[in-house]
Amino acid sequence: MLGVCLSGVPTLLAAQGAIDPRMPGRAAELVRQGERSVATDMLGRYLAVAPDDGHAWLQLGRLYLIEIREWHARHQGDPDGALLLDFAEAAFDQADRLVPDSSSVLHTEVEVDRALVVFEALGWTTARAQWQRVSRSQLPPELAELGQNLLRSCPAGGVLVTGGDIEALAVWQAALSSRDRGDVVPLRPDLYVSDAVYRRRAAELLQVDPAMSLRNALTEAASRRPICIAPAADDAAVPDMQWHPSRLVRVNRGVAPPADVLAFTALLEASKGDASAWVADVRAVYDGAARYNVLLCPVLQPVFGNTLPAACRP
């Protein structure tokens, strides 16, 4: 459907229909009603006559990202995962010229999903090498800075267990891109539980039996290497053991992270004036980190300003 839609764009630009700002909302309502295929078809037909509606392109790309998440649970079906990612990328390419701030994040999500497919097939080293060779990912500076800060909080050789979507995206982008912290491997609990192919590859990295639950796998791996828990990680994935604060993460052993300092310049800049749409999401991760490490409170004072998280209030 997307291919048909895109093939007609050049000839339709001269006689495009009026943009309907309600269309993305209608598609979202259909998705909530369980009619995702209807929403996808509706957006495709609409964009064939209104190709300058950037928000509709974003909505279409997001629908394909939902499809790829479901594909990861079964690794079969038509279209396959690679084609779904091509569809999403094509939609975000169209959105780039219209709403670049949002589409840049979603483009990176597509690239991270491609890296996940490579990781599942060929391993972490190959995924990093391919990313550094071909990736054109450009997260907003405050998100890229967040990923680097989380990576810098984890000791050498650590496994960094991530939580929410924004946190996972920032960490994976940083870990795939980093020239000097390739020793830290991010781990997504949601995929470990739902994706058997991802689980086998992650278990190989942890040197555990893939039949183990995630908690038991991390418990066993903790005897051999640092396990780092990012602020948004689900407590259900965290083993019952003693944890030590290490900057923005919790670690299973008292090992100091590398000497790289944390930086918050990009977040502070993004908070000024017409603040970036991602400031609240980034700030939420730092708020979560302060729950486990109150020593962050004075360090993060410029970020928190007058709205201190509960852990930092007198």
Average per-residue pLDDT for the chain: 87
Which of 98, 131, 157 is the C-terminal boundary of a domain?
Answer: 98
- Do 193 and 93 fall into the same domain? no
Phi-psi domain of 305 (left: phi exceeds 0; alpha: psi -120 through 50; beta: other)? left
- Do 189 and 274 fall into the same domain? yes
Cβ neighbours around 298 below 10 Å, total: 10
- Look at the block and give the residue holding tokens 């689900």: 234
Which of 81, 98, 115 is the C-terminal boundary of a domain?
Answer: 98
- Do 170 and 258 fall into the same domain? yes
Residue 189 clears pLDDT 90, i.e. is over it = yes
- pLDDT recorded at residue 137: 73
Q: Which of 1-15, 219-233, 291-305 has the lowest mean pLDDT?
A: 1-15
- Do 216 and 87 fall into the same domain? no
- pLDDT recorded at residue 12: 38
Q: Is residue 293 part of a domain?
A: yes
Of 125, 175, 130, the residue nearest 152 (C-alpha): 175
Encoding tokens for residue 79? 């279209």
C-alpha 127 chain-centroid distance: 16
- Do 183 and 279 fall into the same domain? yes
- pLDDT recorded at residue 15: 42
Q: Is residue 62 part of a domain?
A: yes
- Do 275 and 186 fall into the same domain? yes
What average pLDDT does the segment 166-188 reach? 92
Q: Is residue 104 part of a domain?
A: no
Which of 98, 130, 165 is the C-terminal boundary of a domain?
Answer: 98
- Do 146 and 53 fall into the same domain? no
Report cis status (omega within 30 of 0) of the bond before 186. no
- With vertex at residue 20, the alpha carbon angle to CA 19 and CA 23, rounded to the nearest 5 degrees, is 130
CA–CA separation, 79 vs 84, rounded Å?
6
CA–CA separation, 78 vs 83, rounded Å?
9
- Do 92 and 166 fall into the same domain? no
Q: Is residue 57 part of a domain?
A: yes
Q: CATH number for the domain including 21?
A: 1.25.40
Q: Is residue 113 part of a domain?
A: no
Number of structural domains (the chain) is 2
pLDDT tens, residue by residue, 232-284 = 999 988 999 999 999 999 999 877 777 778 999 999 999 987 778 899 999 99
- Do 91 and 164 fall into the same domain? no
- Do 17 and 144 fall into the same domain? no
Judged by DSSP in three states, 242 sits in coil
Of 100, 67, 95, the residue nearest 81 (C-alpha): 67
- Do 49 and 174 fall into the same domain? no
pLDDT tens, residue by residue, 13-26 = 434 557 888 888 88
Q: Which domain holds residue 143?
A: 139-314
Q: Is residue 30 part of a domain?
A: yes
CA–CA separation, 165 vs 51, rounded Å?
29
- Do 162 and 301 fall into the same domain? yes
Q: Is residue 105 part of a domain?
A: no
Q: Is residue 128 part of a domain?
A: no
